[in-house]
């Protein structure tokens, strides 16, 4: 079976496609390295936060209830556990 020779345009298109595939592979590799680095940073932060003692903080929420005849104000006390 005879070998078909690629024309100038077909050869150029194939070369451009090959360049694009290489660029895409490089971009993907760079993205994955960045993602891996981000993951390591998050793990370190998580470990440092898990070693800290939590801080309890009181927070008050004021609620308004408006009825047809009166206004009722109530205060709710919450205890939040914070890691600073």
pLDDT tens for 25-66 read 999 999 999 999 999 999 999 898 888 777 777 777 777 777
Backbone region of residue 64 per phi and psi (left: phi > 0; alpha: psi in -120 to 50; beta: other values)? beta
- pLDDT for 61 equals 75
Evaluate if residue 1 carries a pLDDT over 80.
no
Q: What is the pTM of this model?
A: 0.50
**Domain boundaries, given as residue ranges, for the chain:** 8-82
- pLDDT for 31 equals 95
CA separation, residue 69 to residues 50, 66, 72, 73, 75 (Å): 50, 8, 10, 14, 20
Q: Within 13 A of 59's CA, how many CA atoms are on the CB side?
A: 10
Q: Name the token pair of 23.
A: 């660029």
- DSSP label at 57? E
């Amino acid at each position: 079976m005879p070998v078909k020779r690629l024309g100038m345009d077909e050869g150029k298109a194939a070369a451009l496609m090959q360049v694009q595939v290489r660029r895409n592979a490089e971009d993907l590799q760079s993205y994955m390295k960045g993602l891996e680095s981000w993951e390591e940073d998050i793990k370190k932060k998580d470990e440092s936060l898990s070693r800290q003692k939590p801080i309890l903080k009181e927070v008050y929420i004021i609620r308004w209830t408006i009825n047809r005849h009166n206004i009722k104000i109530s205060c709710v006390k919450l205890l939040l556990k914070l890691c600073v």
